[in-house]
Amino acid sequence: MEVLLNLAARFTPSKGAVTNSISDKACTVNLFKHVSGGCAKKDESLPVDIRFENLKISVSLGFRKGMKQILHNVNGKFASGQFIAILGPSGAGKTTLLDILSGYNVKGFSGTVYNNDTVRDVQLFRKFSCYITQENHLQSFLTVWESMAIAADLKLGLYTSQENKDIIIKEILATLSLDTSSNMRVSCLSSGQQKRLAIAIELIDDPSVMFFDEPTTGIDSSSSTQCLRLLHRLARDGKTIVCTIHQASASALELFDEIYILGEGRCVYQGTSRNLLQFLDSVDLPCPKYNHPIEYLMELVSSENKQENITILTNKIENGKCDKWKHVPKVPMQSLDAIIVQKDIEDVFRNRKCERASSFHQFRVLSRRCMLRYKRDTRFVYMRFLANLSIAALYCILYWQIGWHGAKVRNNYNLLFCILIHNMVTTLILGILAATAEIPTITNEYFNKRYSLKMYFSATTVCEIPILLLCCLVFTAVVYPATGQPLEIERIAMFTTISLQLVLVSQSLGTAIGTALNVMYGTFLGFALSAMSVVLSNVGENLQNIPIIIYWISKSTFTRYGLEGMLNSIYGFNREIMYCPDDSYCHYKYPEKFMRDMEVPLNMFWQSFIVLCCNYLIFKIASFFLLKWRVSNRKCF
């Protein structure tokens, strides 16, 4: 009781603040439901009815192939406290309709979506709804409890004490039968358990509307039925639960309060499964004996005569406008407070005190999660260190103590060029692969309002730098002295700085490419850019003999400035005459001669440093805006 009083006191409104009072009541109700063991009354949930009219959307089939209309002016209404299934054969438009209703797709469609008979404000709607996609985009390296704890920190912020967060998490895990698996890593869970965990994470802030894209796909029949029963139970708490279903057993279909069936992008039925037999009789398409009516209707809209059947069914149901076959539940008498909450739901969620965590708190939580990933994913970290040490050992064997020898300046140049290639290519490709792997998870978490992109991008940028720098320092610490480079503090510092910059620039470029493209195209472009940059940065003595366009392209690549920075750190700044044995001819005994022949500006280290810094900032800024574009449009080039 003391915990509940503290929760109520935390959200007590100031005097005269009517809107805040409503907001605080909503927050207290949601938290009270979790803490009190889920015994809140149904009318304490914030009811949200969804209605849509004349939804139409077309997609391009490709260059000069025209457009294909996916939805044809469909209509419908989903009431709060109902468990609704959107059914239909493959290609009927189920997921497209769900994307529009959830706000996951807000471009390219026409029509109107209403929430409680008010035109939907997408940004407002996303605050009290969630969308769980078909794939379980979870952090596999976390345990069940850690996944819930991090989600609670992001969703509830600092407005809820850690003690109450733990109570909420325990309650949800117990409800979803995940309490016995709380210490297991997500990667060790079954597909059914992962699906329940995805639901549990979204239940932390108690959304009023929940959308599911084929929640039973990829799990066995027993887990499928268990999942649907769970969703049915959530709908009984006053939530609006809408999901697409591709295949389900007859007993599982009976769990739905209403079904909405699509055929060729048109509504062919909307109502209860019990009324379906009567509906089929009314259009002279009676269901045969011993056939399940839903399965029979699905056969009608996918058979050889589907066009004729769809036309008949669509006309009868008026493409979703007819609600004759729907179940109209008895609306219980509501208290005055509940009526106020329902009437002013927009004000509730615009002014709610239990908003998401602050930017700084998000940064802390996301940084902790990122560092935990590096700590848990030891194979990846060890692989990077092992790769760097292996390549460093190879360079040491091939170029042992050549850096001080005047007759081996060309060989030393080849070594520096190999170091440049290593620092660039390995980091670039890893950046591409890491970015493409993270995009689906980021898209899902960002859409469900878990954090801001700025804080996610900042946290990942800060956390990736120590690993990159440590690998680069280990590689440099082995190769530099073993290959006989000058052991002067200034030169060591300059060489290390340029190497670190090359790694950071390559990582940021890889992130930009991986964010914009899928893994196949991104990897291909990464290798293509690497090959082009390597060629253009190594023209050396041929700079004056190439076309002017290629010359300026060469001078604009960051690898060229990286190579010039390395050469200046080794041979620039008045390096003493190279050692040359009496029995050897040393063409580049004087380092300045080698620099002039390679057309490398003398003592221009800081120019290379500044250009590489600018490249890093440009690629990082580009990565952020590409990430913002990618998660907003949910497509890649």
Q: pLDDT digit string (tens) for 146-174?
A: 999 999 999 888 878 889 999 999 999 99
Q: Which band of pLDDT confidence, cut at 50, 70 and 90, is reported for residue 143?
A: very high
pLDDT at residue 538 in the model? 67
Domain range summary for the chain, segments of one domain joined by + = 2-43, 44-141+185-329, 359-633
pLDDT at residue 3 in the model? 35
Q: pLDDT digit string (tens) for 328-345?
A: 554 443 433 444 444 455
Q: CB of 303 within 8 A of CB of 309?
A: yes
Mean pLDDT, residues 450-457 taken together = 92
Instruction: Return the SS3 of 176.
Output: coil
40 Rama class: left (phi>0) / alpha (psi -120 to 50) / beta: beta
- Please give the mean pLDDT across all residues of the chain: 82
Distance CA 350, CA 525 (A): 44
Q: Which of 77-91, 118-132, 323-337 shows the lowest mean pLDDT across its residues?
A: 323-337
Question: Can you give the three-state secondary structure of 312-334, one letter per residue?
Answer: HHHHHHHHHCCCCCCCCCCCCCC
pLDDT at 15 exceeding the cut of 60: no
Amino acid at 20: N
Range with the largest mean pLDDT of 283-292, 384-393, 403-412, 579-588: 384-393
Mean pLDDT, residues 179-184 taken together = 90
Q: CB of 615 within 8 A of CB of 609?
A: no
Between 617 and 634, the more confident residue is 617
Pick the CATH number of 44-141+185-329 from 3.40.190.10, 3.40.50.150, 3.40.50.300, 3.40.50.410: 3.40.50.300
Q: Which band of pLDDT confidence, cut at 50, 70 and 90, is reported for residue 549?
A: confident
| 600-612: b (≥16 Cβ within 10 Å) or e | beeebbeebbebb
Q: Which band of pLDDT confidence, cut at 50, 70 and 90, is reported for residue 108?
A: confident
Mean pLDDT, residues 525-548 taken together = 75
pLDDT at 636 exceeding the cut of 70: no
Q: Which band of pLDDT confidence, cut at 50, 70 and 90, is reported for residue 574?
A: confident
Q: Which of 138-142, 193-197, 288-292, 502-506 shows the lowest mean pLDDT across its residues?
A: 288-292
Q: Which of 442-451, 495-504, 569-578 shows the lowest mean pLDDT across its residues?
A: 569-578
Nearest residue to 155 (alpha-carbon basis) of 10, 7, 31: 31
- Predicted TM-score (pTM) above 0.95: no
Q: Which band of pLDDT confidence, cut at 50, 70 and 90, is reported for residue 135?
A: confident
Phi, psi (rounded to 5 degrees) for 124: -70, -40
pLDDT at 94 exceeding the cut of 80: yes
pLDDT at residue 17 in the model? 38
pLDDT at residue 544 in the model? 61
Long-range contacts of 22-28 (CB under 8 A, 24+ apart): 22/340, 22/341, 22/344, 22/347, 22/348, 22/351, 23/347, 23/348, 23/349, 23/351, 23/352, 23/353, 24/353, 25/337, 25/341, 26/341, 26/348, 26/349, 26/352, 27/159, 27/352, 27/353, 27/354
Q: pLDDT digit string (tens) for 356-391?
A: 678 899 999 999 999 998 888 888 788 888 888 999
pLDDT at residue 512 in the model? 95
pLDDT at residue 2 in the model? 38
pLDDT at 127 exceeding the cut of 80: yes
pLDDT at 44 exceeding the cut of 80: no
Q: Which band of pLDDT confidence, cut at 50, 70 and 90, is reported for residue 217?
A: confident
Nearest-5° Cα angle at 164, 170 to 168:
30
Between 17 and 523, the more confident residue is 523
